[in-house]
Structure 1
């Protein structure tokens, strides 16, 4: 027997006994869930799947309420959205974990540093350079001149000394430059769009590198006779050998970038002409005198061209600015980061997805560690001291030893965490509800790690273990605000999950249960 109901003014017929969540999915309506797992009984612990049923005063959890004939349901009202956001923020108030590691957060280019370190420690250099060059176009160059702001966030310094992140980035970049088959990113099919880049310094080169991968043709104009900008003019050859810079620039031109030397935007070729010949223009010419800004015809202030700080868009449609033309820069890595983000905005503009909004991902942070918490982080890290290279740069053995010192502060599911995705979607704030946070802790079994501070008490892992008849399994322990998922009889995680560890990891909506090697 079937029942008929309406959800968001759309009629649907489902078998008797189906839930409102199942009925919504039959219509293609996406209702978020965190504590729901197919085939397991509903727990209604997260309350992010609530909907409004006509005639009922309170919102109801769609995962548990059965569809009834004649029901009228709304899934996207302001009341529903506010309730879901509040539910997510309540879960976040008790969340202990970093979405991204402190080193990652402090890297201007937002490179996934812990992932690179794990790959280097494993000798997976091809994977490591792919991780690096996803965000940094000139890693061998920056590895020699960057002051390493990322290392200021390295928690390992609380025990002895920070991991040598910058040297390790240089190591894997040098390995790649010397390789007979160096890394070459995949490029999308040609889009038919053309971008003029005024300035072939770090910002312009980085922008070209990322735009070419998106399929857009790039032409770099520069006043100098060869690309490199301030990297060639201001860095001593002893710190940055020209051969290294040339090799990295070649990686950009090999993707199809064209270079026009001895040409200044504004002075030698008017901005209006570039705008007419190209679909978008990026001004990345470094620090300029006032007369150069005037020649460009763009509004500028005491520090540089006026542009949106997040999208890099100027008031002139289709014209963007990045790097030293916006404000004086002391670090080349910031120019490279600008180029990457400007390329992203230009790509969105060229593909019709552009808006002045900048979608930064939601992130939570543990903050300052309490006494003793560094010990929990040290559990899976090498206890060895920081490596001091014997020569110029690291050997493979030195690189592996120092990379193994990483504490793995990053979330093992930062790209797949359902809680993070939902926080993004509803615009949640991490600390709307302020409570004293739990202590950071980790439990391990071979291949799997459990971090109680990331657990939202959905009970999915408990139900899976019970269904599989694990000898011990998992259970809720404690009372009130101190409830957590634990192992009965204070046994270890290896004893608790002898059959279904993989299934529990895959089903966990956060990184409370995760693969240790991810």
Structure 2
């Protein structure tokens, strides 16, 4: 047995145990990008380094065997700074979008690219789930939203922007109202929330909270809920669209008390005594504080929905006695504006599709959705580089590579490779070797020009007949991926989805 210290704790391990295994056995989280169980240590990312205070040296813990008398620090200041430097050097030449430009500019944070792929694959029920999670009122916003998400669409500089607004409207009309799965809610929590103000903002808060299992009642002074969009003309917004979506929220279990104006301390005190929390989604009723929260209406209807959703999530935390604080800021890699050369390369791997003919407000939905370039990452939730860069506060612009890789997507089959996202960890090469692939993968070139290649110009599908699934799972950045598999996150769940025609 070998005796050593890890973070000032006396530890005894078997001979041959690596530092990473010794630390993880103690419950210590050790960051890695190039380490994978069952594969020889690659020693390429150096993110797992630990410091031996006896010598002052940093060691890659994935390959360093524990030695008698070591005094190991796993998260001291020196160790964390070294890891941060590693991450900042790595991301300086990382080329790829974590989130698509359209998602960045949607005030309600809808996962637009996933909606596109679900429509293209003919999964309207899945698309209905996505647009409802994102917009709450996808049909109404399909008429009144100014569609800020369409402005940064990369297709705009090639042919024309994606018709996102018309697509989520069409999904709403075809699949939303008759989709019973969208009415599923968790078991009631026993908590009651009053929402004062029945505009899109207040109703969005109610939708989020009901989906969390809380009982919700919306108080609206007018005869019908809807707020300012209720005043729009039939041409601007058919009333049947708004009414159907409000009816859907009622079927979810939200109660509406219309024609009920809440004024003065007396009305408010009565509500405060009956409900566990109150959301004020209109002006002049009460200031936020204690169990009163404010959901700000906005002249931009989609922004009002986003504000309502955010307030709903805050109140859910309050009801669960969870500290209310801003969500941690995630590292967010961006392509930025692509020049014609790189845009053309991004389009090379995309099936050529004609621009659909738009007659009035009708869109050939699957053809239009098929034009989406899949700008977002296939591991936007589980990407190792994103996680550790976020945790260590790595700065994207700390270092600048003299040359960054071009935007490319290689592979015409089920397995694809994006060289700009590859950190050259070597895991896919080693995993293919472990599985005894006839072709496998290899490193080509040297130094900064080194990249992963398939030997002899074979396809990735041919190269990874046995090991593709493990290579995709192990890849820390989704540089190597299945074309139609990705992880996605809604406000309720994180799941792996497979999009297959």
- Normalised to the residue count of structure 1, the TM-score between the two structures is 0.88
Alignment of 1:114-513 (within 5 A): 114-177=113-176, 179=178, 181-233=179-231, 235-267=232-264, 270-285=267-282, 288=283, 292=284, 296=286, 298=287, 314=288, 316-324=289-297, 329-394=298-363, 398-435=364-401, 436-513=403-480
Q: What SS is found at the alignment partner of 1:259?
A: strand
5+ residue gaps, structure 2 = 486-501
Instruction: Please give the secondary structure, in 1, of the residue aligned with 2:96.
Output: coil
Q: Offset of 1:147 from its aligned partner?
A: 1.4
1:455-494 Cα shifts (integer Å, max 9, x gaps): 1111101111223333332222223222222233455434
Q: Which residue number corresponds to residue 30 of structure 2?
A: 31
Give the CA deviation at 1:197.
1.1
Residue 84 of structure 1 and its aligned partner are, at CA, apart by 1.7
Report the CA distance between 1:85 and its aligned residue: 1.9
Report the Cα distance in structure 1 between the residues aligned to 2:272 and 2:393, rounded to whole angstroms: 36
Counterpart-to-counterpart distance in 2, 1:16 and 1:160: 63
Q: Give the root-mean-square deviation of aligned CA atoms.
A: 2.0
Structure 1: distance between partners of 2:412 and 2:52: 44
Deviation at 1:115, TM superposition (A): 1.0
Q: Deviation string for 1:305-325 (max 9, x for gaps)? A: xxxxxxxxx4x133222232x
- Give SS of 1:24's match: helix
TM-score, normalization: structure 2?
0.91
Q: 1:135 touches 1:340 (CA, 8 Å); kept in 2?
A: no
Deviations 1:358-379 (A, max 9, x none): 3233211100102311122223
Q: Structure 2: how far apart are the matches of 1:84 and 1:186?
A: 44
C-alpha separation in 1, matches of 2:313 and 2:121: 31
The farther-off stretch of 255-264 and 439-448 is: 255-264
Q: Counterpart of 1:60 in 2: which secondary structure?
A: strand
Query: Would you say the 8 A contact 1:164–1:386 is kept in 2?
Result: no
Aligned to 2:205, the other structure's residue is in SS state helix
Native 8 Å contact 1:161 1:385 kept in 2: no
Deviation at 1:223, TM superposition (A): 1.4
1:65 is aligned to 64
SS at match of 2:340: coil
Tell me, yes or no, if the aligned pair for 1:176 and 1:183 is still in contact at 8 Å.
no
CA separation of 1:217 and 1:378: change in aligned 2, threshold 3 A: same
Report the number of matched residues.
484
CA distance in 1, matches of 2:40, 2:47: 16
Q: Report the CA distance between 1:65 and its aligned residue.
A: 0.9
How far residue 41 of structure 1 moved from its aligned partner, in angstroms, is 1.5
Query: How many angstroms apart in 1 are the aligned matches of 2:453 and 2:346?
Result: 19
**For 2:189 and 2:130, how far apart are their aligned partners in 1?**
25
CA deviation string 1:171-223 (max 9, x = no partner) = 111112453x4442432222222222111111111110011111111111111
User: Offset of 1:382 from its aligned partner?
Assistant: 4.1
Give unpaired runs (5+ residues) of structure 1. Answer: 299-313
Q: CA separation in 1, counterparts of 2:349 and 2:448?
A: 29
Q: Is the alpha carbon distance of 1:512 and 1:262 closer, same or farther for their aligned partners in structure 2, counting shifts above 3 Å?
A: same
C-alpha displacement of 1:246: 1.1
Q: Render the CA deviation track for 1:87-134: whole Å, top value 9, x for unaligned.
A: 112111111000011111111111111111111111111111111122
Shift of 1:276: 3.6
**Would you say the 8 A contact 2:221–2:261 is kept in 1?**
yes
